[in-house]
Amino acid sequence: MTRVMAAAWMMAALGLTGCTTRTFYADSDKPVPTQKRENSEAAQARVSLGMKYLQSGNNELAKGNLVKALELAPQSAVAHYGMAYYYQTVKEHDLAHEYYQLAVNLESDNGNIRNGFGAYLCDIGEYGKADEQFIAAIKSKSYTRVAETYENMATCAKRAGNPDKAKEYFERALAHSSLRAKPLLELASMAIDLDNAEEAERYLDVFHKTYVATAESAYVGVRLANLLHDPLMMQKYGQILTNQFPASNEAKQYMLDQF
C-alpha cells in the first residue's frame, strides 16, 4: 500500500470527513459539553489536515497539525493514531509503536485502529503481534471491515512463510466479501501451485467477470494456461501482458519464463 493510499484509507476508516455533529456520552442522552465537543471536532479536523499533508509529502506541516490535535484533545484515540501513522511514515518505529499502543489503550474496541496497528506490525515483521491486533479488530462488534482484515491477515501470513494460513485467511476474506480482487487472484495462484486447475480457473473467472484484466491477473492466466497446456489461453493472456502492460514485472517475467 502506498503512503497516499494508506493515508486516504485512514481518513475514511476513522470517519475524518471534516463534518461537525452533536456528540453524546456513551450509553447516555446527555450531550458532551460544548467546549469539549468543539475541541474534539477541531482535533479531528487537524488530524484530517495532517493526513492530507502526509499525502502530499509535507511531513513538517503534517506533524504540526497532529501535535495541535493532541493539544486540543489529549485523550483522542484518533489523534494518537494519526501521530502513530506520521511516525510510521518517517520510520521512527519506536515512537510509531508507542502512539499506536496509546491509541489502542484509549479505544480498545476500535476495529479500525486495531487493523491499522496490525498492518503496521506486519510491515515491520512482528507477525504474531500483528495477528493479535487483527483478531481483536475482527472481534469488535461495531467493526465492519472484516474482509479487509482477513485479507491483511492472509498477506501477513504469506510474508511469514505460512501459505496454509494465508490460504485460510484469503478464503475467509471471500466468505465476508465474495468479490474482493486480491483474495481471488491469490487463491487462483495458490491453486495453480497445487496443480488444481479447476479451482484456479473458478477464481480467475470470477475475477475477470468482475474486474478488467490487470498485469497480475493476466500472469495468473498465463500460469493457468501452462498448467492446462492450453495454447489459445496462453496466447490470450500473453497478448494482454505484452500489449497492455509491456513495462510490468509480470510481462517481463512472462518473456523470461518462455512458456
Convert the pLDDT of each residue in 193-212 to its tens digit.
999 999 999 999 999 999 99
DSSP H or E run through 239: helix 231-244
Position 4 scores a pLDDT of 47
What is the rounded distance in angstroms from the CA atom of residue 121 to the CA atom of residue 133? 9
Convert the pLDDT of each residue in 51-70 to its tens digit.
999 999 999 999 999 999 99
Position 19 scores a pLDDT of 42
- Whether 129 and 153 have beta carbons less than 8 Å apart is answered as no
What is the rounded distance in angstroms from the CA atom of residue 139 to the CA atom of residue 150? 12
Burial of 33 (0-12, 13-18, 19+ CB in 10 A): exposed
Burial of 89 (0-12, 13-18, 19+ CB in 10 A): middle
What is the rounded distance in angstroms from the CA atom of residue 114 to the CA atom of residue 13? 11
Position 76 scores a pLDDT of 94
Query: What phi and psi, each to the nearest 5 degrees, are found at residue 61?
Result: -70, -30
- What angle do helix axes 249-257 and 231-244 make, rounded to 10 degrees? 140
- Whether 140 and 110 have beta carbons less than 8 Å apart is answered as yes
pTM: 0.84
Position 35 scores a pLDDT of 64
Given a cut of 50, the residues of the chain with pLDDT beneath it are: 4-5, 17-22, 24-27
- Whether 200 and 184 have beta carbons less than 8 Å apart is answered as no
User: Which domains, ranges and CATH numbers included, belong to the chain?
Assistant: 1-107 (1.25.40.10), 178-259 (1.25.40.10)
* Cα distances (angstroms) measured from residue 61 to each of 31, 67, 211, 247: 33, 10, 38, 36
Q: For the range 248-256, what are the long-range contacts, defined as Cβ-Cβ under 8 Å and sequence gap of 24 or more?
A: 248/215, 249/215, 250/215, 250/216, 250/218, 250/219, 251/215, 253/219, 254/219, 254/222
> Which residue type occupies 234?
M
Convert the pLDDT of each residue in 142-165 to its tens digit.
999 999 999 999 999 999 999 999
Angle 167-173-178 from CA coordinates, rounded to 5°: 115
Position 31 scores a pLDDT of 54
What is the rounded distance in angstroms from the CA atom of residue 112 to the CA atom of residue 185? 25
